């Protein structure tokens, strides 16, 4: 066993040797509750008390029992949402051949996902947007998100080398795309009437013009 505090998750993981998506029902339920609460009140106001209440638990102790602290829970939330997002968006991208079509699919796919899972995306944007250099485990986590972005940056670069995209700093472009999407996510949280799919098409058009090689 480990040194200090062994949690249900750690035990489960140790037994199965499997990563976190082999959740016990309760863990998944708590993660789901956390996603809803974070989407509703934001990262910092998402207290264990509120999450426990949403999850139908009688005490916050139960969350501490299942997770090795707040950071661990947040990590699980991010993991869960990334898993969902990847499964949702990736196939929609891989259908396409041209870099331009793939970029469009990426943007529209993210906003379709938002339309179907508004809380999930709101939660991850809240968490990643409020991270500071506090917990080392969480910082390592930011690295993962960065690596994700790097993969997409590489796609942009390839498109440029292929002559399909014009000349621009691919990191700046990628961040602008990400920022625009996340902004829609944030607004959708407050404004349920927002037509996110329409916004997706508009953004896809926008960044198509911004990336296309001038004809």
Q: Which residues bind a second copy (CB under 8 A)?
A: 1, 5-6, 11, 41-45, 49, 53, 56, 58, 129-130, 132-133, 166, 168-169, 172-173, 175-176, 178-180, 182-184, 186-187, 190, 198-199, 202-203, 205-207, 209-210, 212
- The answer to the question of residue 2 lying near DNA (CB under 7 A) is no
At residue 165, φ and ψ (nearest 5 deg) are: -110, 155
Distance, in Å, from the CA atom of 148 to the CA atom of 91, rounded to the nearest integer, reads: 16
Nearest-approach distance from CB 18 to DNA, in angstroms: 14
Residues contacting residue 131 through CB under 8 Å, at least 6 positions apart: 138, 139, 141, 142
With contacts defined by CB under 7 A, name the span among 44-52, 83-91, 111-119, 156-164 that binds DNA. Answer: 44-52
Say if CB 120 and CB 162 are below 8 A apart: no
Q: Identify which of residues 60 and 79 has a Cβ nearer to a second copy in the complex.
A: 60
- Please give the C-alpha separations between residue 126 and each of 110, 119, 135, 180, 189, in angstroms, as whole numbers: 16, 10, 16, 15, 11
- The answer to the question of residue 26 lying near DNA (CB under 7 A) is yes
Instruction: Establish how many alpha carbons lie within 13 A of residue 11's alpha carbon, considering only the half-sphere containing its beta carbon.
Output: 9
Say if CB 22 and CB 12 are below 8 A apart: yes
With CB under 5 to 8 Å by kind, the binding choice for 205 among DNA, a second copy, none is: a second copy
- The answer to the question of residue 32 lying near DNA (CB under 7 A) is no
Q: Which residues bind DNA (CB under 7 A)?
A: 4-5, 8, 11-12, 24-26, 45-50, 57-67, 69-71
């Amino acid at each position: 066993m480990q040194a200090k505090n062994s949690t249900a998750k750690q035990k489960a993981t140790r037994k199965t040797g499997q990563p976190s998506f082999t959740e016990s029902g309760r863990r998944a339920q708590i993660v789901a509750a956390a996603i809803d609460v974070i989407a509703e009140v934001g990262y910092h106001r998402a207290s264990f008390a509120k999450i426990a209440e949403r999850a139908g638990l009688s005490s916050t102790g139960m969350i501490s029992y299942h997770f090795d602290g707040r950071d661990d829970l947040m990590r699980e939330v991010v993991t869960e949402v990334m898993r969902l997002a990847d499964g949702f968006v990736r196939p929609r991208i891989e259908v396409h051949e041209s870099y331009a079509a793939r970029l469009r699919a990426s943007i529209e796919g993210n906003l379709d996902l938002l339309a179907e899972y508004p809380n999930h995306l709101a939660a991850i944007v809240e968490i990643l947007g409020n991270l500071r250099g506090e917990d080392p485990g969480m910082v390592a986590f930011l690295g993962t998100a960065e690596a994700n972005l790097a993969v997409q940056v590489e796609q942009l670069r390839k498109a440029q080398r292929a002559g399909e995209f014009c000349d621009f700093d691919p990191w700046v472009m990628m961040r602008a795309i990400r920022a625009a999407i996340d902004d829609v996510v944030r607004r959708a949280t407050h404004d349920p009437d927002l037509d996110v799919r329409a916004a997706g098409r508009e953004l896809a058009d926008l960044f198509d013009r911004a990336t296309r090689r001038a004809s």
